Amino acid sequence: MIALSPQYQFNYYQLETVIYWAIIVIFGIALFFLGLTLSKKLRRIKELKCRQALQKRIDSLLFEMLFTDIPVEEVVNSPEFQKNLQSVLFQRVTIKAIIGLHHNYSGNYSKKLEQFYAESGLASYSLKKLNSSQWPHVVEGIRDLSSLNYQKAYPRIVSLQNHKSTFVQTEVLLGMIKLKGIAEILKFRNKSLYLNDWVQSNILFSVKKHRISAPDDLSDLLESKNNSIVLLAIRLMNYYKKAEHYDALLVFYQQTKNLQLKKEIALVLEKTEYIN
């Protein structure tokens, strides 16, 4: 029978000491995580309360500005607003509230909100985000600036089109469309930028949401060698439903050998008398 030499035999005493210390360490880490969770929750509850209180004040301030004759300058220069503007949380909540209202109101109301955003210094706060090393901040900045139609940001946003993050690149494209219209897509006609279906759905969503009108030369996109751009053009034509687009689509349908594009055009033309 094989007998183990003593050094391979289980040394319970030594192992007990190791296990004893392991238990202390593991429990210590468990308590550390418990403490972290607790502090995170308490901080979140506190921030939520603070945010709710802030939201109330901001809402009343914005509604007063929108629906009374108080000029934007007066609100912006009020000592209370200037004092609150030092807080990052205040800036974030205010921008979110402005975007929400901007989405729901049009005409003079939306112009007034855009003016408030530009003159209050909140636009500068968003512009600073464009310099961030973290791409989510850059995306957030582009989204805020373009949603609130801050035209001065256009060159800065365009300068980010070769950003290393694809998320930023996509947001730049969306921002350009929101600020200058769908004609911006024409600039990408000869680029190899691949617009997957998800990006395309975001572009279509922006076009619909911001009621962006069709450019005259949308049909030119059908000449692009980039199939994803062509696909987007077909989808845009489907949205705009203009007769001249259908003619161009029919010609393209007969010429192209790409099955996906053919299928997409067929979906559009089936709704018309062009294809039965």
Partner 1 sequence: MTGIASIDLFITVFNYLILIFAVLVMSSYIILAIISSVSLKEYLRENRFVNYNALLSLESAPRVSLIAPAYNEGKTIEENVKSLLAINYNNFDVIVVNDGSKDDSIPVLIKAFDLVKSSREYHPQISTKEVKNIYTSTNSAFSKLIVVDKMNGGKADALNVGMNVSKNPYLVCIDVDCIMDKDVLLKLAKPYLEQSDKRVIATGGVVRIANSCVIRSGKLVEVKAPDNFLARVQVIEYLRAFILGRMAWSKLDGLLIISGAFGMFDREIAMKSGGYDTNTVGEDMELIVRMRRYMIDHKQPYAVQYIPDPLCWTEAPESYKILGKQRSRWMRGTIETLWTHRKMMFNPKYKTLGLLSYPYWLFFEYYAPLIEFTGLVITIILAALGIISWTFFFLFILLVYSFAVLFSMIALYSEEATFKRYETLADLRKLVAVAFLEPIIFHPFTVYAALKGNWEKISGNKGWGDMTRTGFDKRPQ
Amino acid in position 105: Y
Indicate whether 44 belongs to the interface with partner 1 (CB under 8 A). Answer: yes
Indicate whether 45 belongs to the interface with partner 1 (CB under 8 A). Answer: yes
| Angstrom distance (rounded) from CA 212 to CA 179 | 10
Indicate whether 276 belongs to the interface with partner 1 (CB under 8 A). Answer: no
C-beta closer to partner 1: residue 23 or 89:
23
**CB under 8 A, 24+ apart: contacts of 62-66:** 62/94, 62/97, 62/98, 62/101, 62/113, 62/116, 65/112, 65/116, 66/101, 66/105, 66/109, 66/112, 66/113
Window 20-39: residues binding partner 1 (CB under 8 A): 20, 22-23, 26-27, 29-31, 33-34, 36-38
C-beta closer to partner 1: residue 68 or 164:
164
Least distance from C-beta 104 to partner 1, angstroms?
15
C-beta closer to partner 1: residue 171 or 184:
171
Least distance from C-beta 92 to partner 1, angstroms?
13
| Angstrom distance (rounded) from CA 120 to CA 132 | 21
Q: Which of 54, 90, 112, 140 binds partner 1 (CB under 8 A)?
A: 140
Indicate whether 53 belongs to the interface with partner 1 (CB under 8 A). Answer: no
| Angstrom distance (rounded) from CA 234 to CA 248 | 10
DSSP SS3 for 217: coil
Indicate whether 144 belongs to the interface with partner 1 (CB under 8 A). Answer: no
Window 227-266: residues binding partner 1 (CB under 8 A): 235, 238, 264
Indicate whether 5 belongs to the interface with partner 1 (CB under 8 A). Answer: no
DSSP H or E segment with residue 251? helix 243-255
Residue 210 corresponds to which tokens in the numbers above? Answer: 């911001």
DSSP SS3 for 26: helix
| Angstrom distance (rounded) from CA 160 to CA 131 | 10
Q: Which of 78, 106, 201, 272 binds partner 1 (CB under 8 A)?
A: 201
Residues in contact with partner 1 by CB under 8 A are 1-4, 8-10, 12, 15-16, 19-20, 22-23, 26-27, 29-31, 33-34, 36-38, 40-42, 44-45, 136, 139-140, 143, 167, 171, 194, 196-198, 200-202, 204-205, 207-208, 235, 238, 264, 267
